[in-house]
Amino acid sequence: MEQKRKATIVDVAKLAGVSVATVSRVVNANYPVKEETRTRVQDAIRELDYVPNVQARELNTRRSSTIGVVVPGLYNMFFAQVIDGIEDYLRQDAYSLLLNCAKNDPKQEMKCITALVSRNVSGIIVISPNTAHIKESFYTQLVRRTPLVFINAYHYIPDVSYVGNDEALGTQEALRHLMQLGHQRILFVRGANSDSYQIKEDTFRVVMRGRGIQPDKYIVNIGEGNSAETVDDTQQTLLGALPQTDATAVFCCNDLMGVGALNACKALNLRVPDDISIMGFDNIALARYVSPKLTTMDQNMFRLGSNAAQLLIERIENGPCKRITLDNVLVKRETTGRAPMRMEG
């Protein structure tokens, strides 16, 4: 069966016996039209099942009501929840969302963005956990023609709006929570290739040194931190690391790792939080689903997303470039508790 040709404004005009201009006017309701002709046009529209062609409209008004979103992938619910927030905000402003996954590959990321630009999006939101080998000139060039918002990126580029959490502060808060419970020695679990891990590690080092503890031997890197294997990889790594450490608590750079740590403890017959405490970071849905429920720092991804959408739209409408930093808030659940008594001596 062949597709029916879509009706155009000309078809409607003909059927209604008016000019295309008039049809345009009733569709957009931007100029007065006599009641009677309006209904005639509307009848024709219904009859032909006419839907205006947004592409044509936008070509000629040189505006575009779609925005592009680039994420590394959907494996970590973190990104899904951010997208949820973006989508929700955009819907209210009648924007549409073009989604691209960059697979954690900077080259892919730039490709996605070019594709988005050629699709004439009116702005782009990028979540790029790793801005280390970011091609800065690419972005400075890009932003001259297309408004840009980064989420949680730690790489300053002029005129790029930004929304993120103060992860250094969040890390301090998390560490303080642990210390208030009496934990002195804390194992720091991070992944590879993400600015946010580095920021957290730096913070960790400072805090530990401030407590007179040499941090080096308390840091473990489990590799890729946002993949389908992150939980298992973390568990495997900690199965080796946990028995050798004298730490009484584990701080994980995200919840995937947190759950991996939890599973490692179970496998090792360590009671959580009685024998050892665990903290995650992000507060993805998973954190609530496991048992015991994971204590974590909430990044409120939904808000991250909706704020980013808001900034982008402001920028599109010639508002200023802004940089918003949100607070992480501690969500105490069931994996943190008082440090166990020292048995030695």
Partner DNA sequence: CTGTTAGCGCCTTCAG
Partner DNA sequence: CTGAAGGCGCTAACAG
Binding stretches for a copy of itself (CB under 8 A): 1-6, 49, 51-56, 58-59, 64, 66, 73-75, 77, 80-81, 83-84, 87-88, 91, 96-101, 114-115, 117-120, 141, 144-147, 159, 228, 231-232, 256, 259, 262-263, 266, 285-286, 288-291, 318, 321
What does the alpha-carbon distance between residue 312 and residue 307 come to, in Å, rounded to a whole number?
Answer: 8
Among 36, 49, 216, 344, binds DNA (CB under 7 A): 36
Site size toward DNA (CB under 7 A) is 31
Among 2, 3, 4, 32, binds DNA (CB under 7 A): 32
Report the chain's C-alpha Rg in angstroms. Answer: 26
Which does residue 18 bind out of DNA, a copy of itself, none, counting CB within 5 to 8 angstroms by kind? DNA
Lay out the site mask for DNA across 188-227 (x = CB under 7 A, - = otherwise): ----------------------------------------
Nearest CA among 94, 91, 119, 104 for reference residue 305 = 91
Which does residue 32 bind out of a copy of itself, DNA, none, counting CB within 5 to 8 angstroms by kind? DNA
Q: How far is the CB of 114 from a copy of itself (least distance, A)?
A: 7
- Is the Cβ of residue 8 or residue 108 nearer to DNA in the bound state? 8
**Per-residue tokens: 125:** 């939101």
Do the Cβ atoms of 241 and 187 come closer than 8 Å? yes
**Per-residue tokens: 335:** 């994996």
- Is the Cβ of residue 99 or residue 219 nearer to a copy of itself in the bound state? 99
Among 2, 3, 4, 34, binds DNA (CB under 7 A): 34
Is residue 65 involved in binding DNA (CB under 7 A)? no
Among 52, 106, 182, 223, binds DNA (CB under 7 A): 52
Among 43, 46, 56, 74, binds DNA (CB under 7 A): 56
Q: How far is the CB of 235 from a copy of itself (least distance, A)?
A: 9
CA distances from 336 to 183, 240, 281, 288 (A): 10, 21, 13, 14
- Is the Cβ of residue 161 or residue 171 nearer to a copy of itself in the bound state? 161
Nearest CA among 132, 138, 93 for reference residue 112 = 138
Q: Which string of DSSP letters, residue by residue, matches 193-229?
A: S-HHHHHHHHHHHHHHHHTT---GGGEEEEEESSSTT
- Is the Cβ of residue 54 or residue 267 nearer to DNA in the bound state? 54
Which does residue 28 bind out of a copy of itself, DNA, none, counting CB within 5 to 8 angstroms by kind? DNA
Residue 271 backbone dihedrals phi, psi, to 5 degrees:
-80, 130
- Is the Cβ of residue 16 or residue 142 nearer to a copy of itself in the bound state? 142
Q: Which residues pair with 279 in a beta bridge?
A: 251, 295
| Binding range to DNA, per CB under 7 A, among 6-14, 143-151, 185-193, 306-314 | 6-14
- Is the Cβ of residue 64 or residue 254 nearer to DNA in the bound state? 64
Is residue 38 involved in binding DNA (CB under 7 A)? yes
Dihedral angle over CA of 342, 187, 270, 291, nearest 10 = 130
SS3 of 303-316? HHHHHHHHHHHHHH
Q: How far is the CB of 229 from a copy of itself (least distance, A)?
A: 9
Q: Would you report the helix, strand and coil content of the chain in percent, each value rounded to 5?
A: 45, 15, 40
Question: How many angstroms from the chain centroid is the CA of residue 119?
Answer: 22
Q: Which string of DSSP letters, residue by residue, matches 57-71?
A: HHHHHT---EEEEEE
What does the alpha-carbon distance between residue 95 and residue 317 come to, in Å, rounded to a whole number?
Answer: 13
Helix (H, G, I), strand (E, B) or coil at 76: coil
Q: How far is the CB of 342 from a copy of itself (least distance, A)?
A: 28
Site residues, DNA (CB under 7 A): 6, 8-10, 17-22, 24-25, 27-28, 30-34, 36-38, 50, 52-53, 56-57, 59-62
